[in-house]
Structure 1
Amino acid sequence: MPPVVTGYRIRIRMTARAIDEPHRTASPLELLFDLTFVVAVAAVTAQYAHQITAGHALSALVPFLQVFFAVWWAWMNFTWFASSYDIDDIAYRLLTMVQMAGVVVLAAGVPPTGADSDFRLITIGYLITRIALVAQWLRAAVEHPAGRRTALRYAAGLTLLEAGWLLRLVLAETHTLPSPTGIASFLALAALELAVPWWAERAGHTTWHPHHIAERHGLFTLILFGESVLAVSNGVRAALEGTEVGGSLIVIAASGLVLLFALWWLYFLLPAGQGLSDRREISFLWGYGHYGVFAALAALGAGLEVAVEQTGHRLAASPLAICYSVALPTAVFVVLLRLIHTPLVTEHVMRPRAVLVGVATVLLLPLAASRFGVTAVVAALAAVGVAMVVVTFPAVARHC
């Protein structure tokens, strides 16, 4: 038996955890790890909100998606590794702490990306997370012979791609990487990052736990909803600097919360754990699809913050742009949620016709902003969100 001190193991052999391990839930260490992403997501959301306020929502969208990719992918890599190899001994904990430090550095690097297009701290933070994760995979390769080929492929792929990111940074710093090439190189490296798990798992599948993975994605979704609530609160505070509490401020803040609640309701309508257990082969589609779901929620938080703030200040952004900064993320969230969950369930509670009508309405409502104002449009968007929840009630009742 391995020595145990106050509930954790000092040193044990790293072996794969069982796919069907009963009562598998997120560990306290995973929850602590997620707290660093609270900071990172808050930084990304605040940065994008600032760009929307300045009237640069469209031009800032690509940098926002780039930075969010780094945040999301760092979380994904840790989460899926932990689902297979979390042994919670001292070495595992310390390497997790190093990854947390990398996320903190990454979060600190978010503001410079907006002000000066400076990705140095982002890249350094990402490098720190990679060093620790590669060490974890190498340890798995040494101590778990059955999964050695897969673990070595992960370690090799991550190492080579990190070299690519560093080379990209050096070229950017020496001004030898033109802007169009910079975007193309990012897309190429990001695509290769997504290809590493597919390539590595061809040598042998890791033993990630379906219900644990579903829970972990649900927890990260809650982080993003929480950040959106915080964004609404920030918008209220900013609005009150320029005006007193009024009907418009109350209506738009309340509408933002109602919209978030409706989207939360839709996400957690059906648990994904059983579907992932029955169809593990679609895990890539489901997991990668969450990038869009998560990014949409982060962008929605930024849009709601600006929508609330404009009740107290005259902003550079037009009413149309502000309304679309709320409507577009809402539409993307609903569409992607429907797409990634459809393969997991035999009967989806979100009917295609309801989704089509709801999304079309959401995308058309901002066109009324110039006539009815931002407050009325956001209130209408919240009403559409509630309607999309209500139309699921008959299907939900049949599942009960």
Structure 2
Amino acid sequence: MDEPHRRASELELLFDLTFVVAVAILTAQLAHGIAENHAAESILPFLQVFFSIWWAWMNFTWFASAFDNDDAFYRLLTMLQMGGVLLLGAGVPAAFNDGDYLAVTLGFVVMRVGLIAHWIRAAFDDAASRRTALRYAVGFAVLQLGWLLRLVLQQAGILPEQMQVVAFVMLAALELTVPWWAERTGHSSWHPHHIAERYGLFAIILLGESVLAASNGLAAALRSGGVSASLVAVSAASLALLFSFWWLYFLHPAGEELAANRDKSYLWGYSHFALFAALAAVGAGLEVAITVAPTEGHLQEQAFIAGYCVAISTAVFMGLLWAIHAPLTSRPVIRPSVIWSAVVTVLALPAGIGAIGVVGVVAGIAIVCALVVVVTVLQPGQRQEVS
């Protein structure tokens, strides 16, 4: 845990690329749901599939922080997990649109085989962490049987749709308890600065997906109506908004905070689920906003929904960004008065969409976020470098 200059490995960066595919497919599905006026119906499948993606990524990330020996067997097991991610990603449309989790669950099984093998190997190689590693292996193996049982009952038509959601929530909650149960035997030696870097890299992946989503929306708008002032304005505002998100996220010295508060790592790590989901949802909202901006008069409902999708997701991101870091420091980087004033303002902007349009909403949200950056960076004692 005290290894100096611990950085993400080249293998971890390659591993992350497989999640780029899965997140891109999911973001596109949510954007399609918003464009078809099915935003409310799309929220639940979006959150379920995103949990599968995020949890699979997080399991490997924390293991690798403690037990990455980078030998040939380790690399092969990681490659196996990458194959599982690609299978999971291929199943996203079916899970999202039809509630069919066959490919997603099978992809998760492949990933779990590799991860459980990692933990078993760690148990044999590291006597000090043996009980912890075996608990991880057993916990994940038992719960994987639960996911398979849910899949079998679903495919057989025995499990009603409402009970499928209940089963998902129960299994997901149990998944979250496995690290807590396993670590009761003694904390594994994860590296706080490495974990902070890995989370930052996943945030960049999600911001990159938002850039891709915005680019897709721009391409669709150009195909339908060509260049217009509203298209240029909403595209520029989208870029400014994403840049502000990046700036705000990396203002926080997360590695230092985790090093000083290892006992609060669960709160910090788990809370990122909603924060990351909000970043992904922003991308979907921006894609639709850019698409409808040039012809907003004919697509008022889509513009309204897209505006609220961007606003709510932005508010969740900013509020959680403050709340996640507040318990780790006596002096939060972003002042509460600043962040909560921004949240209220952002949530209020879509109410005026009839007057300012979706372009005004997105531009207003971008301006608010940019002001939060400026006020925070210029406050006395604030470090000027990104950490």
Q: Quick one: which of 356, 372, 382 aligns to 1:388?
A: 372
- SS of the equivalent of 2:334 reads coil
RMSD across aligned C-alpha pairs, in angstroms?
1.2
Q: Quick one: which of 337, 356, 370 aligns to 1:372?
A: 356
Q: Does the 8 Å CA contact 1:40/1:107 hold for their aligned counterparts?
A: yes
Look up the equivalent residue of 1:119 and give its one-letter code.
Y
Please state if 1:228 is matched with 2:247: no
* Aligned residue in 1 for 2:44: 62
Matches of 2:192 and 2:349, distance apart in 1: 38
- Please state how far the C-alpha of 1:105 moved relative to its aligned partner: 0.3
- Normalized per residue, the structure richer in helix is 2
Q: Quick one: which of 257, 273, 276 aligns to 1:294?
A: 276
Look up the equivalent residue of 2:185 and give its one-letter code.
A
Call closer, same or farther: CA 1:144–1:396 in 2, change over 3 Å: farther
Matches of 2:191 and 2:260, distance apart in 1: 12
Q: 1:267-290 CA deviation, whole Å, 9 max, x = no partner?
A: 001221011111100000000011
Q: 1:67-126 CA deviation, whole Å, 9 max, x = no partner?
A: 000000000000000000000000000000000000000000011123322111000001
Matches of 2:28 and 2:140, distance apart in 1: 29
Matches of 1:61 and 1:333, distance apart in 2: 16
- Please state how far the C-alpha of 1:372 moved relative to its aligned partner: 2.1
Q: Quick one: which of 17, 21, 24 aligns to 1:39?
A: 21
* Aligned residue in 1 for 2:316: 332
Q: 1:300-346 CA deviation, whole Å, 9 max, x = no partner?
A: 00000000011345558433211001101100000111011112223
* Aligned residue in 1 for 2:259: 277
Look up the equivalent residue of 1:276 and give its one-letter code.
L
* Aligned residue in 1 for 2:329: 345
Identity across aligned pairs (percent)? Answer: 55
Q: 1:110-154 CA deviation, whole Å, 9 max, x = no partner?
A: 111233221110000011000100001011111211111111100
* Residues 352-367 of structure 1 mapped to structure 2, 5 A cutoff: 352-367=336-351
Could you tell me which runs of 5 or more consecutive residues in structure 1 were left unpaired when the two chains were aligned: 1-18
Look up the equivalent residue of 2:343 and give its one-letter code.
V
Q: Does the 8 Å CA contact 2:120/2:137 hold for their aligned counterparts?
A: yes
* Aligned residue in 1 for 2:136: 154
Relative to structure 2, which stretch is displaced further, 100-109 or 382-391?
Answer: 382-391
Q: Does the 8 Å CA contact 2:230/2:293 hold for their aligned counterparts?
A: yes
* Aligned residue in 1 for 2:115: 133
* Residues 302-321 of structure 1 mapped to structure 2, 5 A cutoff: 302-312=284-294, 314-315=298-299, 317-321=301-305
Look up the equivalent residue of 2:354 and give its one-letter code.
S
Please state if 1:84 is matched with 2:66: yes
Moved over 3 A (4+): 312-318, 394-400
Number of residue pairs aligned between Structure 1 and Structure 2: 382
- Please state how far the C-alpha of 1:394 moved relative to its aligned partner: 3.5
Look up the equivalent residue of 1:46 and give its one-letter code.
A
* Aligned residue in 2 for 1:3: none
Look up the equivalent residue of 2:159 and give its one-letter code.
L
- Please state how far the C-alpha of 1:371 moved relative to its aligned partner: 2.5
Q: Does the 8 Å CA contact 2:376/2:382 hold for their aligned counterparts?
A: no
Please state if 1:72 is matched with 2:54: yes
Q: Quick one: which of 6, 9, 34 aligns to 1:27?
A: 9
Look up the equivalent residue of 1:362 and give its one-letter code.
V
TM-score (norm 1): 0.93
